[in-house]
Amino acid sequence: MIWARAAGARAIGPWLGWAVACALLAGCPTDEPVVDVDPIVDPLSRPAEPTLSPSSFQPSDDCAACHPDHAAQWATSSHAYAMVDPVFRALVELRRADFDGAQDSFCLQCHTAIGTRGGEIVPHFDWDALSPVVQEGVTCEACHRVSALERPWNSGHVIQEGGPVRGGIADPASSPAHEASFSDLLTGASFCGGCHDVIELGGLQLERPYEEWTEGPAPEEGRPCQSCHMPTTTGPAAVGGPSDRSLHDHRFVGIDVPLSEGFTTAAEEEVLRTRIGALLDGAASLDLVAAPFVPGEVVDVVATLHNHIDGHNLPTGSTFLRQAWLELTATDADGTVLYRTGDLDANGDLRDHWSSLDPYGDADLVSYSSRLTAADGRPELFPWRANEHSSGSIPPRHARTSTLFVPTSADTPGPLQIQARVRLRTHPPHLLRALGLEHLVDRVETWDLATASLQVPRGP
Ligand code: HEC
Ligand code: HEC
Ligand code: HEC
Ligand code: HEC
Ligand code: HEC
């Protein structure tokens, strides 16, 4: 699926064709970013004047006294990492340089919803001068003071200053610290969509797990995001509270372990890795099919990746940063490699456009993530400089088939061995190098989503 810049926030959907998009915009494509939404102001999430005061929100330490487990879990999550994430900061700095600070609030409206609504995210703001609750990113009260949702994308939450804390407990016990009330909104998927679906200024759709969720079987099954990303246990929700509450894990495990050394302890990191492994277990499977081979002829190897996730595409979220790809090697009976795709160059990069050692060396590379393209048709790394976003991700309960062609010669000894796996990683080395973060390359974990092997006998 391909998205292009187009007028109007949600009218984007699938590829419109340049003709339509350009008729709407009158005069594209251009090298300049096309901006049809006010780049500076959104009355809800990036208001011209503050609509709340950050000082009336409490940092997570204040909640930890009575909710120690929630606070400890959250502190290791990507939500707690959202404002200190060096990849985020480096990208914001780059965008800031492109627009001379004028659009600084755009990237921050979800990473710190309290900061942009509270007037702290002004052009050229100073990261170190932000108040603690703003530095906490997606902090407790960025979620628990939400009273309504205006749109399930681009920070669509109404945050109620001084309102009750809201959650999924229907009959909350009284607390000296706060009023509490049940909220249907927080138990549903659209609540997460409010931040997880991202549309760039100019209309380029960047992340859409919630929209994907609405297109799959999960809504009918009654499986919101929380059911997979906040698994439940039973216990007290607050110190001294009733002990039979259904508790929701606040590590918000996806595929990321915060990359910065020291953000989590080694023990916490181990827990996150185990949880990621559990989330990925059964998420996908890979089939390989090939007919018996005739020496001297090309062997067609058909690889099919199945997405077993009901919740959204595989992969999802910031797929333009992620890499998900097929690695496949074919060897003959002597162990000689006949064919290889999806292997890495000496820098750890795939041998595609971004490899500095072997650009486009892997002509058959099968990628399941997404690609940004600039107006001149060249691949682009950074979304605000791109005109088009094309995705290779697989919808819920769907599959994608690719055929690879393995050469043989008249004296190739059989049987052939095919080894394949689908790999997923959060940050490609070339991206970290482009952002001056090469010291983080070794911290990136690569996950095997699915593996398969096949023996191909000699034909008659
Ligand atoms: C609509 C809300 C929203 C906006 C606006 C937004 N983000 Fe994010 N960002 C998210 C969410 C949600 C994720 C998590 C997605 C995932 O992990 O796949 C995320 C993840 C990221 C990550 C990945 C973190 C990592 O290291 O794994 C980076 C980097 C990032 N955003 C940068 C930016 C930049 C730069 C901008 C502005 C161009 C921006 N974001 C605008 C919501 C937003
Ligand atoms: C003095 C102790 C105390 C402090 C401090 C405290 N809480 Fe609570 N909180 C409670 C109690 C008690 C409950 C009710 C638990 C129950 O009914 O099981 C509760 C319930 C909640 C609920 C569930 C509401 C619902 O209906 O689902 C949320 C969410 C919550 N607190 C968030 C917070 C946040 C965020 C902070 C920090 C800003 C915080 N709490 C600080 C004691 C506290
Ligand atoms: C049925 C279980 C399930 C449901 C429901 C679900 N997810 Fe996921 N989610 C997964 C699995 C498995 C992965 C890891 C594989 C992947 O990245 O697609 C994942 C990964 C993610 C990631 C990390 C993607 C990345 O590469 O950074 C984000 C963000 C995410 N989910 C958000 C959501 C949101 C938002 C919803 C609700 C709209 C949701 N999920 C619903 C199972 C689920
Ligand atoms: C990204 C949003 C988000 C953040 C950040 C967040 N929570 Fe929650 N929290 C939720 C959701 C959603 C639920 C309810 C899930 C349900 O009932 O389906 C919840 C439930 C709770 C509950 C009720 C008991 C339970 O486990 O269901 C408490 C207490 C709570 N959170 C405290 C906190 C505290 C304290 C922090 C910060 C340290 C925090 N939360 C951060 C989204 C968030
Ligand atoms: C206020 C905005 C906001 C809300 C609401 C929100 N998120 Fe997030 N979420 C983010 C941002 C921003 C990130 C990425 C932070 C980073 O790494 O820089 C993120 C990251 C995540 C990740 C980690 C993805 C990965 O790559 O590992 C998961 C999983 C996730 N969120 C699930 C949820 C779920 C489930 C909900 C709803 C209960 C939710 N989020 C609500 C903003 C939000």
Pocket of ligand 3 (CB under 6 A): 189, 192-193, 196, 209-210, 213, 218, 223, 225, 227-229, 254-255, 279-280, 283, 309-312, 314-318, 322
- C-alpha distances out from residue 131 to 47, 121, 125, 135, 170, Å: 18, 11, 12, 6, 33
Ligand 5 cavity residues, CB under 6 Å: 78-79, 81-82, 85, 88, 110-111, 113, 138, 142-143, 191-192, 194-196, 225-226, 229-230, 252-256, 317
Assess whether pLDDT exceeds 70 at residue 24: no
Predicted confidence band at 27 (pLDDT cuts at 50, 70, 90)? very low
The CA distance from 336 to 230, in Å, is: 47
CA of 306 to the centre of ligand 1 (A): 26
Residue nearest atom 25 in ligand 2 by C-alpha distance: 167
CA angle 272, 74, 431 (to 5 degrees): 60
Task: Judge whether residue 406 has pLDDT over 90.
Answer: yes
Closest by CA position to 123, among listed 109, 102, 98: 102
Q: Is the CB of 325 under 6 A from ligand 1?
A: no
State which of 55, 56, 57, 63 you would mutate to test the pocket of ligand 2, scoring each by most atoms of that ligand within 8 A of its C-beta: 63
> How many angstroms is it from 302 CA to the middle of ligand 5?
36
Ligand located closest to 224 CA:
3
Q: What local confidence, expressed as pLDDT, does residue 156 receive?
A: 97
Global pTM?
0.94
Q: What pLDDT is attached to residue 267?
A: 97
What ligand has the least distance to the C-alpha of 312?
3
Q: Is the CB of 323 under 6 A from ligand 1?
A: no
224: number of Cβ within 10 Å: 22
Q: What is residue 256's predicted lDDT score, i.e. its pLDDT?
A: 96
Confidence class for position 460, pLDDT limits 50, 70, 90:
confident
- What is the per-residue pLDDT across 85-116, written as a single tens digit (0 to 9) for each? 999 999 999 999 999 888 889 999 999 999 99
The DSSP annotation for 280-316 comes to: HTTSEEEEEE-PPB-TTSPEEEEEEEEE--SSS-BS-
Please tell me the residue having the least CA distance from ligand 1 atom 38: 107
The percentage of residues in the chain with a pLDDT greater than 70, rounded to a whole number, is 92
The ligand 1 atom nearest the CA atom of 199: 1
Beta-bridge mates of residue 419: 329, 453
Gap from CA of 112 to ligand 2 centroid (Å)? 22
Return the percentage of the chain with pLDDT > 90, whole number.
89
pLDDT, position 18? 28
Q: Please list, in sequence order, all residues whose beta carbon lies within 8 angstroms of the beta carbon of residue 331, skipping any fewer than 6 positions away.
A: 337, 338, 416, 417, 419
pLDDT at 1: 65
Which helix (H) or strand (E) segment is 452 a member of?
strand 446-456
> From ligand 5's centre to the CA of 76, what distance in Å?
12
Q: Do the bridges between strand 284-289 and strand 299-307 make them parallel or antiparallel, or are there none, so unpaired?
A: antiparallel
Q: What ranges in 18-131 are assigned the alpha helix state H?
A: 18-25, 60-64, 68-75, 78-81, 86-99, 104-111, 113-117
- Tell which one of 40, 46, 198 to mutate to probe ligand 1, the residue whose CB is within 8 A of the most ligand atoms: 198
Residues with CB under 6 A from ligand 2: 58, 62-63, 65-67, 140-141, 144, 165, 167-169, 172-173, 175-178, 180-182, 237-238, 241-242, 245
Decide: residue 118, CB within 10 A, 0-12 exposed, 13-18 middle, 19+ buried: buried
Q: Which residues belong to CATH 2.60.40.2360 in the chain?
A: 282-456
Would you report the helix, strand and coil content of the chain in percent, each value rounded to 5? 25, 25, 50
Segment 304-310 mean pLDDT: 98
pLDDT of 158 strictly over 80:
yes
Residue 28 has pLDDT above 60, yes or no: no
Q: Does ligand 1 lie within 6 Å of residue 391's CB atom?
A: no
- Residue pair 276/252 in contact by the 8 Å Cβ criterion: no
Instruction: Indicate whether 32 pLDDT > 80.
Output: no
Ligand nearest to the CA of 193: 3
Ligand nearest to the CA of 88: 1
Alpha carbon nearest to ligand 1 atom 41, residue: 107
Retrieve residue 55's tokens: 């000082």
Q: What is the mean pLDDT of residues 200-228?
A: 96
Question: Ligand 2 mean position to 169 CA, how many Å?
Answer: 10
Task: Give the Cβ contact number of residue 257 at 10 Å.
Answer: 22
Distance CA 38, CA 74 (A): 33
pLDDT recorded at residue 39: 74
The most confident of 8-17, 26-35, 421-430, by mean pLDDT:
421-430
Architecture of the domain spanning 282-456:
Sandwich (2.60)
Q: Strands across the sheet with 416-425, in order?
A: 337-341, 323-331, 416-425, 446-456
Q: Which of 110, 253, 368 to mutate to test the pocket of ligand 1 (most atoms within 8 A of CB)?
A: 110
Atom of ligand 3 nearest to the CA of 307: 18
